[in-house]
Structure 1
Amino acid sequence: MRKRSLTEHFPLLQPEAVQTLYMRVLHLLYRFRPECHSMVIYNCEMFFVCLSFLSRWQFLPMCLVYDFSLNDLLAPKKQRTLTILSAIMNFLHFRKQRMEVVLEKQTKFRADMDRLQAYTKGIREAEKKIEMLTTIPPEQQAEADELAAALSELQATTMHEYQEVVGGDEAFFVHQAQVKLDVSNLKEDISKLKSQIVESPEELKSQMEKMRENVKNMKNSIEETDERVVELQNMVQGVTHTEAEIQQMCSLLQDLESSMSNTKQRLEEHQELMAQYEKKQKELKNLCMEEGQLKRALGMKQDKECKQNIRRQKKREMKEQHVQEVLGQCDQIHQKREDMADKIQEISAETQKLKTSIKSLRDVCSKETEKAQVQAAPVSPSEQYHLHWFSPPFKRDIHLIV
């Protein structure tokens, strides 16, 4: 089977296609438009004008000016400029008023929020207090149950005794009414008997004895009823005394509950203070550790700075030494330069003297040659050779120089 080449798997793309694909990806991901890939050639003087136009073109619609154009910057007119400036001033005045209103609303809102937070905090504290007063701690639940059971039992017994007393009072009142009825009946019987009295003394005596016995029985019953009334009064006093004791016990229970709530609150405050104390201890320990770390870091930093200062001092000393050496070399070079300048001046003076002497010699030679040419006849080449090599040295040098 034939292997495919790399170009068959991945065909060669044109650079324009790759650039178009890349620009499309940038536009989809980052909203990077195609016109942002190239930079328009602009004049540096027009750049600030265009920048000012763009900023005002974006700002003036907020001032209700929708027809701002570039001509208002390039060729401004008086009425048009006044209109734009008045719109800007109106916008600034309106913004100032709105800012004042918004600041007032913000201050009111902040005050309302502070009050709301204070109210919610007070409600939470009240709910906590209510919950703390209504709930009984588990270590005192058994004692509270015992007190509640004793209170309910005491209320049941007092109600039973009160009902008995009320029942006794009703029986007493019924008995008293019956006694009164009997007395009235006896009075009627006595009145009837008086009408039927016979003159016989025996019957009268027997009736008188019966009446005495009845009176005696009635006195005894009255005494018994009085004793029963006294007993009932004593029982009522005992019931009132027990009710007062019950009220006292209820007040004691309420005081006990309030003291229990206070102790619970004190315990919670103590626990909170202990938790805060432990937290502060941990923070202090962490701060001590951080202080130790910072001290170590500071010591290391100071050692490092000391070493760096020593190195800087050494470098500074080496640099100063090098500078001194360079300055010494510069002074030597400057001295040599001055010496060379002096030598050059001397040489130039000597050359100047030589030039003046050469010039004077040339003048003398030219005069002598002119005289010789005037006085002497034409000379042959052999004579010139003879004169050149056998003439005095001074004259030969002058001839060579010429």
Structure 2
Amino acid sequence: MPLNVDIMYPQIHEGFLPVCNLYIHMERLLPMCRISDFQIADVLNPKTKRTVRFLSGILNFVNFREFRREVYLELQQSYKLAMERNQHLEAVNREAALKLEKLNTVPVEHEAEIKQLTENIRELEQLLRQDYRRKQTALQEVTSQKKTDIAERTQKLNECKVTMATLKEEQEQLKSKIVESPEERKSYNEMMKETIKKLKRSKQEVTEKYEGYRDVVEVLPSCQ
């Protein structure tokens, strides 16, 4: 409550108003000084340690304020310059928008020419669409033919795969036969050896008989 306000019975509030004003202002100031435990008792019945701590906080805040004042003033000046530049750019933007609007407005003497150009552009767009459709149709035909060729080649490839699988099966069968052939050859060799032995024995027997007959023939003349 301000001290210059007319109130009833001012003698009652004579000592209370200064204390109340001091408490209100200190309660607003000290939180900015990182002091949050200030109470009304610190005004009515101050303690030395708490008062020293409060005053230290206030002095630190004042020193910090003076230390950062130059930075704040520089930021304030930069902000002011930025606002002035922004206002200047907005004015330039408005002027450019007006000029662009004038440029977009077709003069009366050029309306016929603009209309003719618009029709020419429309005809050109139609020709481009027709050419695009024609090329798209041709491309679809080529794509369809390519798909057909791919399908045929895929079928041939599958047939080749089947043939390869058949050949592999035949190869496996031939391998099994090749594995068995040494045993058959061994059996055949054994049989041939036995046959050769029999032939040798027969030859030996024939030779012995021949030599016996020869000896008999040689003895016959001496007996005459």
Give the number of the structure with larger relative contact order, counting CA–CA contacts within 8 Å between residues 6 or more apart: 1
TM-score normalized by the length of structure 1: 0.26
TM-score normalized by the length of structure 2: 0.44
